[in-house]
Amino acid sequence: MDTSVQYNRVIEHCQQLFIKKTADYGTAWRIMRLPSITDQLYIKAQRIRTLEEKKVSKVGDGVADEYIGIVNYCVIAMMQLELGETGDEQLPLDTVAQRYDHAIQETKELMFAKNHDYGEAWRDMRLTSLTDLILMKIHRVKQIEDNQGQTVVSEGIRANYQDMLNYAVFALIKLGLATNDPLKHTADAGIQ
């Protein structure tokens, strides 16, 4: 299947969940500062790694659910970067949907540029490697945050969020979320 089609199917699933949660909770995430969002990403990625190693989940959500969370928290982070950490004001649902689309479009364009240069190497990678790359990017973001956003030669925070989002989408594609079987991804995760 075409990467663009698979990417779009995964994002459609993630975005639908995000919009439904926004309808339920509003934009409560607006209260979060970027380091808190980074810590949420860390919790999700670390849980994936733990599940990959222990093969058993005691709280129900599986690996695919955590990757979906990573996608959506990365989008939240990118929206917060644009909107600023101004507090807890609520955004209309249609504005959230438009901002989500904008963040995804930019991130997808970055993915295609990198796929061109790397020849879709992610397709031959192990899921565990994608998890480790996400964890590495999280540690990079934490260091940049500790440096008050300053870098010497490295890409900034936004690019790291985009990379994490793309790695999570690749993982979800590999788990089968882009197929016509919406339950395949949980069976393929290897977690009970």
Query: CA-to-CA distance for 148 and 151, rounded, in angstroms?
Result: 9
Element (H, E) at 176: none
Q: What is the mean pLDDT of the chain?
A: 88
Torsion-angle region of 120 (φ positive above 0: left; ψ -120 to 50: alpha; else: beta): left
| Mean pLDDT to the nearest integer, 101-107 | 95
Interaxial angle between packed helices 127-146 and 34-54, expressed in degrees from 0 to 180 and rounded to the nearest 10: 150
Task: Give the CA angle between residues 145, 147, 149 to the nearest 5°.
Answer: 55
**CA-closest candidate to residue 73, choices 35, 129, 112:** 35
120 pLDDT above the threshold of 90: no
Instruction: Please report where in the chains the tokens 């959506």 appear, as a residue.
Output: 72
Structure confidence at residue 88 (pLDDT): 65
Instruction: Return the C-alpha torsion angle 153, 107, 47, 149, nearest 10.
Output: 30
Query: CA-to-CA distance for 164 and 150, rounded, in angstroms?
Result: 20
Query: CA-to-CA distance for 13 and 27, rounded, in angstroms?
Result: 19
Half-sphere exposure of 66 (CA within 13 A, CB side): 26
DSSP 77-131: HHHHHHH-S-------HHHHHHHHHHHHHHHHHHHHHHHHHHTSGGGGS-HHHHH
Structure confidence at residue 188 (pLDDT): 40
Query: CA-to-CA distance for 27 and 128, rounded, in angstroms?
Result: 32
Structure confidence at residue 184 (pLDDT): 47
pLDDT band for position 16 (cuts 50, 70, 90): very high
Reported as a single tens digit per residue, the pLDDT across 35-91 is 999 999 999 999 999 999 987 666 777 899 999 999 999 999 999 999 987 766 889
